[in-house]
């Protein structure tokens, strides 16, 4: 390999690192907030998808309103908090809804889980 080629490669890598650093410093907060909003939306959609498998319309409506209230209350919270609580809620719903029927104990536990988080 010629010495000029190595120099060009080193300069290109240095230039790319500089451009990447500039973009992160300039647009980093905007990129972070947009990625977090998309992730929060995906978590919310995952929980709502779990709710669609409930057969009882009244129960589905009640739990849907509880979930909407919950996600509206944590809208400004940190992404890690929303991810942790949303994932635990989705996992519990998935396990409880394997038979598509919720009993009173599961419903009460879901209500407490949503209100406490």
Lookup result for tokens 């879901």: 110
pLDDT for 51: 77
- The ranges assigned to domains in the chain are 35-116
Kindly report the number of other CB atoms within 10 A of residue 84's CB atom: 13
Percent of all residues in the chain with a pLDDT value above 70, rounded to a whole number: 85
Report d(CA 23, CA 37) in Å as an integer.
20
What mean pLDDT is predicted for residues 80-107? 72
**102 backbone dihedrals φ, ψ, rounded to 5°:** -105, 135
Report d(CA 28, CA 35) in Å as an integer.
11
| Residue-wise pLDDT tens digits, 9-59 | 999 999 999 999 999 899 888 888 888 788 778 877 887 777 777 777 777
Residue with the bigger pLDDT between 69 and 78: it is: 69
CA 98 from centre of chain: 22
Instruction: Band the pLDDT of 117: cuts 50, 70, 90.
Output: low
Report d(CA 48, CA 42) in Å as an integer.
10
């Amino acid at each position: 390999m010629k010495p000029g080629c190595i120099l060009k490669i080193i300069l290109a890598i240095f230039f790319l690192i500089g451009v990447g650093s500039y973009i992160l410093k300039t647009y980093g907060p905007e990129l972070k907030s947009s990625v977090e909003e998309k992730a929060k939306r995906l978590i919310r959609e995952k929980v709502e998808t779990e709710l669609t498998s409930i057969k009882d319309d009244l129960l589905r409506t009640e739990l849907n309103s509880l979930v909407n209230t919950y996600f509206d209350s944590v809208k400004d919270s940190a992404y890690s908090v929303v991810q942790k609580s949303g994932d635990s809620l989705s996992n519990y719903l998935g396990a409880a809804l394997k038979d598509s029927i919720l009993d009173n104990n599961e419903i009460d536990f879901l209500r407490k889980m949503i209100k406490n988080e």
